Structure formats: C-alpha cells, structure tokens
C-alpha cells in the first residue's frame, strides 16, 4: 500500500502550487508531481522521480520552505 502526501501553497487566497508525492509501486521509487499556477495562463505540471521516499520528501520540504519565504501559506 502506498502513501500519498499532498500540499497546497496559496498566496492571497489564490493557489500558487500543488505538490503531490507518492510511491511508484510499478517502477519503484517515489514520484513528486508539481502543478504550478502562474498569475496568468494555464497551470503547468512537472514530474520528478526519486529513488526513495526520503529524497522525495526532502525535495517537497525545501520547495515548500521556499514558497513560505516568498509569502505563501502552506496547507
């Protein structure tokens, strides 16, 4: 059974980013999907593969910390 971690960053009530981290049971490793919502235009999605959950979780933590430094709220 895989575990999923989802975090949303907002700024002034508007979604800025959505990060989803989950185990890839088929290929092994852990995936982080990042959906970025620019001020104008459509959301952009990127996927990142990590060899283990610890590396993926550190990536998510650092990304969220950077967003908090920029004034975003994380939930």
The residues spanned by each domain of the chain are 4-74
Percentage of residues in the chain with pLDDT exceeding 70? 97
Q: Is 5 a residue whose pLDDT tops 70?
A: yes
For range 49-70, the mean pLDDT? 95
CB 72 within 8 A of CB 11: yes
If you average pLDDT over every residue of the chain, what do you get?
92
**pLDDT at site 1:** 46
**Structure token digits, residue 44:** 């952009």
Please tell me the pTM assigned to this model: 0.86
Q: What is the mean pLDDT of residues 22-27?
A: 84
Give the number of other Cβ atoms within 10 Å of residue 29's Cβ: 15
Q: Is the separation of the CB atoms in 31 and 24 below 8 Å?
A: yes
């Amino acid at each position: 059974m895989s575990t999923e971690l989802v975090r949303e960053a907002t700024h002034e009530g508007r979604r800025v980013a959505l990060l989803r981290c989950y185990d890839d049971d088929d290929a092994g490793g852990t995936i982080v999907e990042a959906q970025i919502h620019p001020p104008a235009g459509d959301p952009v999605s990127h996927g990142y593969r990590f060899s283990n959950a610890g590396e993926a979780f550190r990536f998510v933590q650092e990304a969220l910390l950077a967003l908090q430094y920029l004034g975003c709220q994380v939930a």
